[in-house]
Every structure is written in structure tokens, then in C-alpha cells.
């Protein structure tokens, strides 16, 4: 049986943002759901814009997300192989030299558009004689090379979009080699997919027309094209194009500035645009088990970035102490503290704010008219160690003595003991504060 193999092929020209990490997540989950392999291929043929620091950042992000890879390659290491197959395509007459400048091509395009025709390349270069070419070369002109498409129908069964049809005779021959001799993405991608045994390609629907040309290129190289899955691109919640913030939102930002957990990102992006519900998962297995390309809709999924925060809070509140105890920022937090406070966290590092509230000096924020009440509270605090049970008996007595109930009974105590109007349940808070701090804070608030 053929080994199933998917690949994620980012260009290292920037950080991974929401749009391309979605492709990575879906590709990885699709691979796992078919017991397949996942390859990370760095598309760094554009030597000017590709940077090693971005490759490193991509690897850091994927590793943090848990998207491990079984195979890895850089396109820049494969030039000898590309050259070999370029020669084959030239020998087979599937690559031809073109000498038009970009200005000349622009003029041709405009003329066609003005005449109400599709702006296809007219294959003018195929009419050049050997003499014409010799003359152009003598003038120092360097050619770019186009792939000669077969003027035939191109049909494939897309795993997301169903049957897709293109007409080769209505497509421009794509440029595969630049004037400086370097091959373009299309050619390198097809050669790599062939050489690395890629059986499935998952990418955004902005690549659909590229795929039509790629299919003929696979065939020209004697290979069977992989199965294709083109995902609808996501848009912002208001339905517009991905907004600047969302479009440029990087995985690194989410991790380092927003305190987002990997599974919050994966829970959202694996399911966005599918018929399955978006839920907070703490591990990826249920997403693998339920994955199916047929569940993806054709419409543009709308993404609300606040959904990541909501999922994150749910995931963090479900996390055990063992999941977090080794994080350097949690060195002050013990298991008891984590277990008592986690239900109030939106992100893991919030725990330090609550640690600060319980351990450091706080400003009580009690209204003047409640000060006497706080003094009564101090005098009725039960003797002995404070446990989570203390709260109930204490406030029971206080209720009798003060005649207060509900918010009037509880809020001033919260304000006196935490300096805030909201937070974890007070039975837990006073147990974490301990007797000495509780007494001191009440004394201060009553003064």
C-alpha cells in the first residue's frame, strides 16, 4: 500500500500567521487521521526574501503546537535536481524561452483586455526563429521560460470542492524560470511533491488555478498528481477580508503576548468552516478521530479572534497542576494554589496576579459606610486555622449579627480582603490568605 504523505510548505518570508497555521493544523490532522506522514518543506527558492530566522520561527511555532514532522527539506538545497528536470522539460519541448520585457507583456495584456478578450499570453515567443534568438542573445537579453500547457481539459476531484474543471486552452503558459535562471515555486513544488512521494496536497483555494497548471506539470514529468484539497480562505467575523489585525496575527504573538495555549488555536482552526462544532479540546486526538474533508463547507468561514480567548479560558481551567508546574513563570505556585484558583483564569499567567493578591500588600477598597461592618466581621472571625469551611460559618454568624444578606453581606468582605470586586470564591480565598493576613486586612479596612 502507498504510504500516505502530506506536506506543509511555508515560505520563510515572515512569521506564521493565522491563515497559514490553519493550513498546517488541518494538514497535520488530515495526515494523522489517515495514518500518514507529515512533511515540513521550506519553500525558500526566493533567496532574497527567505530568512533563516523565519525558518527557525516556523519550526518553533510548529513544535510548540505539537505539529511534529516526519520529513524535512529546504528547496534551496535541491537546485541540482531542479536543473536536471528543467533540462528534461526543455528537451521535451515543454519549456520555451521568452524574451518579452514586463512592459511589453503589460501592453499585450492591456490590448487584449481592451478588445474584450482574456489576457492570455499569446505564445509570441514560439514564433521566434533561431536568428531572432541569436540576435536577442547578442544584445545581452536573457530569457525567462514558460511551461507549454496542453490545450486540453484539466479535471480533478478535489477533496473539498468536488470536481474542478479547467480548460488548458484558456490558460496562460506559466513562467517557471526567471531571467536569472532560478526556478519558480510552481516548478520546485511539483518536483518536490513528486520526489518526496507526497500523496495529498492541502492548501488555500487561492491556489486552485495554480493546481490546474501543476497537474499538467506532474504529467509532463511522468508523475501522477497527488490528491488535492483546497480550503476556503477564512475571513474576519464581519465577513470582510481578513482584517489587518487578524491577518497579521502571528502564532508567536498569541503565544508570547496573549498567553494562548496551543490547543486553543488547534481547537478553533481544525473545526472552523466544518460541520462539526467548535469545542475546547485539551488534546488533539478527538480532532483526528472526527476529521473528514467532506465536513468542510465551500463558504468563507468567519473567524472571531475572541473565540480563541474563550477556548483558551476553558482549556486553562481544565488543566491539571502537572500540566503547568514546570513553566518558569509558575515557580511560586503550588498545587493547592493552582487547584483553588484555576477556575478563574483566562490564561495560565493570570495565576500570578492572584498570587500577588493573596501574598502582597493590597489596598482595601471598602466604602466608609461599610467600615463598621468590617469591624464586626473581624470580631466574629472564628478562632483557629482558616479552612474553606470557615467562610460558611463566619458569614452565617455575620448575617445574624449585621442583618445583612446577599451582596451587602459578601462584597465588603471581598473588597476588604482582596481589594477587588470580583475574583475566586471567597471560601477559597480566605483559606489561601490564612489567618494572619485575613486579620490584618480586616483591621486595615476597618480603620
Please identify which residue in 94, 105, 166, 189 interacts with ligand GLU, judged by CB under 6 A.
189
Which range in 3-11, 121-129, 421-429, 430-438 contacts ligand GLU by CB under 6 A? 3-11
Using the CB atoms, write b or e for 401-424: b if 16+ within 10 Å: ebebeeeebbbbbbbbbbbeeebb
Q: Measured from the CB atom, is 15 or 404 closer to ligand GLU?
A: 15
Considering the rule CB under 6 A, would residue 203 count as an interface residue with ligand GLU? yes
Among candidates 62, 58, 45, 20, which has minimal Cα distance to 203?
Answer: 20
Please identify which residue in 4, 5, 10, 161 interacts with ligand GLU, judged by CB under 6 A.
10
Least separation in angstroms between residue 10's CB and ligand GLU is 5
Least separation in angstroms between residue 104's CB and ligand GLU is 28
Residue 297 near residue 273, CB atoms below 8 Å: yes
Which range in 6-14, 130-138, 141-149, 244-252 contacts ligand GLU by CB under 6 A? 6-14
Least separation in angstroms between residue 189's CB and ligand GLU is 5
Residue 177 near residue 145, CB atoms below 8 Å: yes
DSSP letter, residue 27: H
Using the CB atoms, write b or e for 332-371: b if 16+ within 10 Å: ebeeebbebbbebbbbbebbeebbebbeeebebebeeebb
Least separation in angstroms between residue 155's CB and ligand GLU is 20
The cell 515557580 sits on which residue?
A: 331
Q: Measured from the CB atom, is 96 or 185 closer to ligand GLU?
A: 185
Among candidates 358, 361, 356, which has minimal Cα distance to 444?
Answer: 361
Q: Positive or negative, the Cα torsion across 259, 260, 261, 262?
A: negative
Considering the rule CB under 6 A, would residue 43 count as an interface residue with ligand GLU? yes
Least separation in angstroms between residue 270's CB and ligand GLU is 18
Q: Measured from the CB atom, is 189 or 418 closer to ligand GLU?
A: 189
DSSP letter, residue 403: -
Please identify which residue in 4, 5, 11, 161 interacts with ligand GLU, judged by CB under 6 A.
11
Least separation in angstroms between residue 56's CB and ligand GLU is 17
Please identify which residue in 4, 5, 6, 9 interacts with ligand GLU, judged by CB under 6 A.
9
Residue numbers at the binding site for ligand GLU (CB under 6 A): 9-11, 43, 185, 189, 203, 207
Amino acid at each position: 500500500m502507498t504510504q500516505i504523505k502530506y506536506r506543509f510548505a511555508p515560505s520563510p518570508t515572515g512569521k506564521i500567521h493565522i491563515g497559514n497555521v490553519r493550513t498546517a493544523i488541518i494538514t497535520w490532522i488530515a495526515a494523522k487521521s489517515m495514518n500518514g506522514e507529515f512533511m515540513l518543506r521550506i519553500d525558500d527558492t526566493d533567496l532574497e526574501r527567505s530568512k533563516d530566522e523565519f525558518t527557525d520561527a516556523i519550526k518553533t511555532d510548529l513544535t510548540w503546537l505539537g505539529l511534529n514532522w516526519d520529513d524535512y527539506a529546504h528547496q534551496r538545497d535541491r537546485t541540482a535536481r531542479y536543473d536536471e528536470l528543467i533540462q528534461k522539460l526543455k528537451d521535451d519541448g515543454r519549456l520555451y524561452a521568452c524574451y518579452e520585457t514586463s512592459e511589453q507583456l503589460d501592453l499585450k495584456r492591456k490590448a487584449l483586455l481592451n478588445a474584450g478578450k482574456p489576457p492570455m499570453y499569446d505564445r509570441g515567443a514560439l514564433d521566434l526563429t533561431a536568428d531572432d534568438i541569436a540576435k536577442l542573445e547578442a544584445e545581452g537579453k536573457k530569457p525567462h521560460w514558460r511551461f507549454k500547457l496542453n490545450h486540453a481539459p484539466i479535471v480533478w476531484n478535489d477533496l473539498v470542492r468536488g470536481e474542478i474543471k479547467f480548460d488548458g486552452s484558456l490558460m496562460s503558459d506559466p513562467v517557471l524560470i526567471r531571467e536569472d535562471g532560478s526556478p519558480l515555486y510552481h516548478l520546485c513544488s511539483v518536483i518536490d511533491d513528486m520526489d518526496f512521494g507526497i500523496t495529498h496536497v492541502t492548501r488555500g483555494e487561492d491556489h486552485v488555478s495554480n493546481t490546474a497548471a501543476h497537474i499538467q506539470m506532474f504529467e509532463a514529468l511522468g508523475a501522477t498528481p497527488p490528491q488535492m484539497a483546497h480550503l476556503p480562505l477564512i475571513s474576519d467575523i464581519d465577513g470582510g477580508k481578513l482584517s489587518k489585525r487578524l491577518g497579521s496575527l502571528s502564532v508567536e504573538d498569541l503565544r508570547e503576548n496573549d498567553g494562548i495555549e496551543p490547543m486553543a488555536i488547534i481547537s478553533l482552526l481544525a473545526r472552523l468552516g466544518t460541520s462539526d462544532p467548535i469545542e475546547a479540546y485539551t488534546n488533539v486526538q478527538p480532532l483526528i478521530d472526527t476529521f473528514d474533508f467532506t465536513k468542510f463547507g465551500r463558504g468563507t468561514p468567519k473567524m472571531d479572534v475572541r473565540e480563541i480567548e474563550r477556548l483558551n479560558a476553558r482549556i486553562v481551567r481544565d488543566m491539571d497542576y502537572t500540566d503547568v508546574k514546570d513553566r518558569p513563570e509558575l515557580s511560586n505556585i503550588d498545587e493547592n494554589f493552582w487547584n483553588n484558583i484555576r477556575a478563574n483564569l483566562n490564561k495560565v499567567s493570570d495565576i500570578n496576579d492572584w498570587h500577588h493578591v493573596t501574598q502582597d500588600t493590597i489596598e482595601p477598597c471598602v466604602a466608609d459606610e461599610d467600615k463598621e461592618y468590617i469591624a464586626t466581621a473581624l470580631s466574629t472571625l472564628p478562632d483557629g486555622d482558616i479552612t474553606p469551611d470557615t467562610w460558611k460559618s463566619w458569614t452565617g454568624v455575620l448575617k445574624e449579627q449585621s442583618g445583612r444578606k446577599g451582596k451587602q453581606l459578601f462584597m465588603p468582605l471581598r473588597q476588604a480582603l482582596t481589594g477587588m470586586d470580583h475574583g475566586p470564591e471567597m471560601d477559597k480565598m480566605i483559606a489561601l490568605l490564612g489567618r494572619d493576613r485575613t486579620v490584618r486586612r480586616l483591621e486595615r479596612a476597618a480603620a
